[in-house]
Amino acid sequence: MNLVTFANPVFQYYAVAAALMIVKMMSQGWITVFRMLKVNAGFRNPEDARKSPMNPDPSPAQLLPNEYVERSRRLHGNDIENIPLFLVAGLLYVCTAPSAALAIGLYGVYVLSRLAHFTIVMTHRSHEARALFWTIGSVIIYFMAGAIIWAAVRSWIAA
Amino acid sequence: MNLVTFANPVFQYYAVAAALMIVKMMSQGWITVFRMLKVNAGFRNPEDARKSPMNPDPSPAQLLPNEYVERSRRLHGNDIENIPLFLVAGLLYVCTAPSAALAIGLYGVYVLSRLAHFTIVMTHRSHEARALFWTIGSVIIYFMAGAIIWAAVRSWIAA
Amino acid sequence: MNLVTFANPVFQYYAVAAALMIVKMMSQGWITVFRMLKVNAGFRNPEDARKSPMNPDPSPAQLLPNEYVERSRRLHGNDIENIPLFLVAGLLYVCTAPSAALAIGLYGVYVLSRLAHFTIVMTHRSHEARALFWTIGSVIIYFMAGAIIWAAVRSWIAA
């Protein structure tokens, strides 16, 4: 039986959650670009402080770190540490043929936990709130990893 | 119908594009290694400035940041933000059963846009040129994410 | 024939290796958290040095870089550069229908090479030892990328 197909409801929900997380992580790059252009700082390549049509008035200060820009870079770094793991763990979890209700719950809560984490960092809320939602996402990834290993072990027992 | 198979032409082209991007990103690590050894600087672990068979003449200066090395690390960082998203979005896009011509175009232009981005950064070209090719890759990932969500919505409408 | 299924022994071994690598990379984040709390330093968000229930005695020194914490962050950075490539290359390699013995060998050696790399960095061992095990993992990823491209080329020749 093929599970990696849009004919499988669990795969449909996984695919939507994965696509939303891909859009989220890609967009963090655009937020960094927006912030660099807004404050005209936080650039990192020396050539970004050269005179050009889009940079008619260059200055070495454009290459200095800027906290407003760095906040978006740190969020991007957190996405990088987490979202690729969700994308792959979520797909392999589809192959374990989980109950649709459980799978939809895990995918949905994961997406919501990452959006909450994003909002908390963007609005400078407390470390505790940020840690809570990062932990929720982390536990979901551990759970799916455990379910994947268990599915392999079940195959070996059944063989 | 199984689409995640080398019997599917779209999957064949995805697999080649994905393998090329994997080789590209893996090789950026080797370029960083080559640059560190060439300038004997840019190392980051304190133990890398210890005396050893490959480091007979150690110095604390080996641990100082070095722009020649950092350029390769920034490129690697950009790969990390983009290529894993392409690898997963591209695979899920295969499952949407797109027209082969469109899929081959998207995969091909993505690979070319990343190679252009790489060449531009390695040769210190303008921010505008770099931004253009990063944007092309970014738009392709957004398009594939949209197509993935649309395939799920279509399934729900048809159900 | 569907290969992306727990009915395929190669996929079973891939899934276990992938889940172990997902757990490994996720856990590096927890090691960083543990180290930040242990030394009460190495935090990076300004709001982490605010008074709160979990931080009753805040200090600007909490935001200073700390080598004990940075070591875990560098390991996490190395995971990020390598593990997502293994996760995707390993899955596409399943689709090339390799011999089970070869596939199990590659997945097993990859996992062991990353655990060796982890142990070497955590215990401050030599650059040479670290480079050796990183190289082993890197060669396995190149090999799988080559096998993926070759599988596509074979399909085109056969067509």
Of C101, C107, C95, C98, the closest CA to residue C141 belongs to: C107
Of A151, B83, A141, the closest CA to residue C14 belongs to: A151
Q: Residues with Cβ < 8 Å from A34, sequence gap 6 or more? A: none
CA distance A137 to A149: 19
pLDDT at residue C56, as a whole number: 92
Cβ <8 Å between C19 and A89:
yes
Cβ <8 Å between C52 and A127:
yes
Q: What angle do CA B33, C25, B34 make, to 5 degrees?
A: 5
A87 confidence band (pLDDT: 50, 70, 90): very high
CA distance C104 to C10: 7
Which residues are C55's β-sheet partners? C52
Q: Is the pLDDT of residue B116 over 90?
A: yes
Q: CB contact, 8 Å: A84 with chain B?
A: yes
pLDDT at residue B59, as a whole number: 94
pLDDT at residue C159, as a whole number: 81
What is the CATH class of A9-158?
mainly alpha
What is the residue whose two structure tokens read 């013995």?
A: C101
* Closest-approach residue (CA) in chain A for C84: A84
What is the CATH class of B9-29+67-158?
mainly alpha
* Shortest Cα–Cα distance, C55 to chain B (Å): 30
A159 confidence band (pLDDT: 50, 70, 90): confident
| Beta strands in C77-157, from DSSP E residues, in sequence order | none
pLDDT at residue B1, as a whole number: 78
Identity of residue C78: N
User: Mind listing the pLDDT tens digit for each residue in B129-147?
Assistant: 999 999 999 999 999 999 9
CA distance A88 to A141: 10
**Residue C98 contacts residue C147 (beta carbons within 8 Å):** yes
Q: CB contact, 8 Å: C156 with chain B?
A: yes
User: Mind listing the pLDDT tens digit for each residue in B20-39?
Assistant: 999 999 999 999 999 999 99
Of B51, B48, B52, the closest CA to residue B32 belongs to: B48
Q: Is the pLDDT of residue A1 over 90?
A: no
Q: CB contact, 8 Å: A156 with chain C?
A: yes
**Residue C113 contacts residue C137 (beta carbons within 8 Å):** yes
pLDDT at residue A32, as a whole number: 98
Question: Residue A117: in which H helix or E strand, if any?
Answer: helix A100-122
Q: Is A2 exposed, middle or buried (0-12, 13-18, 19+ CB in 10 A)?
A: middle
CB atoms within 10 A of CB A31: 17
Q: CB contact, 8 Å: A89 with chain C?
A: yes
Between C159 and B121, name the one with better pLDDT.
B121
Measured CA to CA in angstroms, residue A79 lies from A114, B139, C145, C159 at distances of 8, 19, 25, 41
* Shortest Cα–Cα distance, B54 to chain A (Å): 31
Q: Could you report the average pLDDT of every consecutive run of 10 residues in chain C (159 residues)?
A: 95 98 98 97 95 92 96 98 98 98 98 98 96 98 98 94
pLDDT at residue A26, as a whole number: 98
Of C122, B71, C47, B131, the closest CA to residue A74 belongs to: C47
pLDDT at residue B136, as a whole number: 98
User: Mind listing the pLDDT tens digit for each residue in A116-151?
Assistant: 999 999 999 999 999 999 999 999 999 999 999 999
In chain C, which residues have their Cβ closer than 8 Å to the Cβ of A11? none
CA distance C156 to C139: 26
Predicted ipTM?
0.97
Residues of chain B with pLDDT > 70, as a percent, come to 100
- Mark out the alpha helices in chain C (DSSP H runs): 9-39, 67-94, 100-122, 127-158
Domain ranges of chain C: 9-158
CA distance B112 to B125: 17
Q: Is the pLDDT of residue A104 over 90?
A: yes
CA distance C96 to C10: 10
User: Mind listing the pLDDT tens digit for each residue in B59-108?
Assistant: 999 999 999 999 999 999 999 999 999 999 999 999 999 999 999 999 99
In chain B, which residues have their Cβ closer than 8 Å to the Cβ of A19? 89, 92, 145-146, 148-149
* Closest-approach residue (CA) in chain A for B71: A45
pLDDT at residue C1, as a whole number: 78
B40: left (phi over 0), alpha (psi -120 to 50) or beta: left
pLDDT at residue B159, as a whole number: 81
A60 confidence band (pLDDT: 50, 70, 90): very high
What is the residue whose two structure tokens read 């390699």?
A: C93
Binding partners of A (≥3 Cβ pairs within 8 A):
B, C
Of A139, A118, A138, the closest CA to residue A129 belongs to: A118
CA distance A72 to C23: 26
CA-derived radius of gyration, chain C: 20
pLDDT at residue B134, as a whole number: 98
CA distance A141 to C89: 20
